[in-house]
Chain A
């Protein structure tokens, strides 16, 4: 099962892909999102988003600031004001 992950900034849709897991730096602690996660909404502290494309692969890191994450039926959507890398 793959998790549908979208990273959106005001300027453009940065990512829209299926991945294994994403670790999000929430304001109240990091959390990992796998496919089938319960509906969830959180603000994000400025930091690195870790994207695991496969189960054992090395994570890809994207630094974001001013973010907000939403997990719904459609997968994980991260809204960020600025994205680096």
Chain B
């Protein structure tokens, strides 16, 4: 049986832990709203661009002369896994879920005899992948010096990816991030980003009016592909940010509740042992008085 003083110390320490988790929960709730709004306001651009890409792609045929970003390198030997994580912890299984999805894919690809490389975004998740694939990390993109990864970061990532792609460092790139379903549900998602999967939909919507292109369709498409890539990565970063806050909120809510339960249990134990001590003292006094 722990002494009274020990119990009191433990109750206090759990109480301060609860304060931290509660504060983090409230911060996450506020940030979640902001992240959701950011994801919301990025949607028109992505939708428009996808529409334009769709109508362009339906007009040209993919051939050897098509931009490499669309047609691919003609081989599928080297796969690059772009894993987007967060920079901060205290968000439950958010990061480990993404890393788990990436590792599964890596195992699957390696079983097929492909080469797997990693491109890591964000600070968390580095350690795990580094331990398992120490020689296969192509690059680690640091986002810890900015508050919220925004379009500038997406741009830099996309530029680096395109440069690597053009140097022939990889053939196919997959992007791993967490899709935001709700504050309770985040879905680790794998998406092929290079070569750009031909956008579907938007087919022959403008069949009656012939659209003029300036410059030619192919040139526009070539100019748009990197932009489309940026938008995809930007969208993923935003989804990730919202998911992180959602996961953090849920995890911290659970932690706060657990801490509350623990405090109740410890308090009961504390009171019991205090009463036991008083009873023992009384028994001793009465026994002493009777002996006289």
Q: Which residues does A use to contact B, with CB under 8 Å?
A: 8-13, 26-28, 38-43, 66, 68, 70, 72-73, 77, 79, 81
A68 near B211: Cβ-Cβ < 8 Å: no
Q: Which chain B positions have C-beta within 8 A of A11?
A: 38, 41-42, 150-151
Given A41-B52, A68-B227, A70-B52, A81-B155 contact (CB < 8 Å): yes
Interface string of B120-162 (1 = CB under 8 A from A): 0000000000000000000000000000001100110000000
Q: Which residues does B use to contact A, with CB under 8 Å?
A: 38, 41-42, 44-46, 48-49, 52, 150-151, 154-155, 206, 209-215, 219-220, 223-224, 227, 230-231, 234
A42 near B49: Cβ-Cβ < 8 Å: no
B48 near A8: Cβ-Cβ < 8 Å: yes
Interface SS of chain A: helix, strand, loop or mixed? strand
A13 → chain B closest CB, angstroms: 5
Interface SS of chain B: helix, strand, loop or mixed? helix
The complex places the Cα of A27 from the Cα of B206 at a distance, in Å, of 24
A40 near B211: Cβ-Cβ < 8 Å: yes
By CB atoms of chain B within 10 A, which of A9, A28, A41, A68 has the most?
A41
The complex places the Cα of A12 from the Cα of B38 at a distance, in Å, of 8
- 27 A–B contacts from the bound complex (CB under 8 Å): A8-B45, A9-B45, A10-B154, A10-B234, A11-B150, A12-B41, A13-B41, A38-B212, A39-B206, A39-B212, A40-B211, A40-B213, A41-B212, A42-B213, A42-B220, A43-B214, A43-B219, A43-B220, A43-B224, A66-B227, A68-B220, A68-B227, A72-B206, A79-B48, A79-B49, A79-B52, A81-B155
B41 near A39: Cβ-Cβ < 8 Å: no
A10 → chain B closest CB, angstroms: 5
Chain A, Cβ-Cβ closest to B224: A68
Contact of B210 among A39, A42, A43, A70 (CB under 8 A): A39
The complex places the Cα of A57 from the Cα of B37 at a distance, in Å, of 35
The complex places the Cα of A12 from the Cα of B48 at a distance, in Å, of 12
B211 near A39: Cβ-Cβ < 8 Å: yes
A10 near B231: Cβ-Cβ < 8 Å: yes
Q: Which chain A positions have C-beta within 8 A of B219?
A: 43
Chain A, Cβ-Cβ closest to B56: A41
Chain A, Cβ-Cβ closest to B220: A43
The complex places the Cα of A27 from the Cα of B224 at a distance, in Å, of 13
Q: Which chain A positions have C-beta within 8 A of B41?
A: 11-13
The complex places the Cα of A77 from the Cα of B130 at a distance, in Å, of 45
The complex places the Cα of A16 from the Cα of B95 at a distance, in Å, of 38
Contact of A28 among B46, B154, B214 (CB under 8 A): B214
Contact of A81 among B38, B44, B151, B213 (CB under 8 A): B151
Q: Which chain B positions have C-beta within 8 A of A9?
A: 45, 151
Chain B, Cβ-Cβ closest to A9: B45
Beyond A39-B211, A43-B223, A79-B48, 8 extra complex contacts between A and B, CB < 8 Å: A8-B44, A27-B214, A39-B210, A68-B52, A68-B223, A77-B48, A79-B52, A81-B151
The complex places the Cα of A38 from the Cα of B150 at a distance, in Å, of 35
A85 → chain B closest CB, angstroms: 17
Q: Which chain B positions have C-beta within 8 A of A39?
A: 206, 209-212
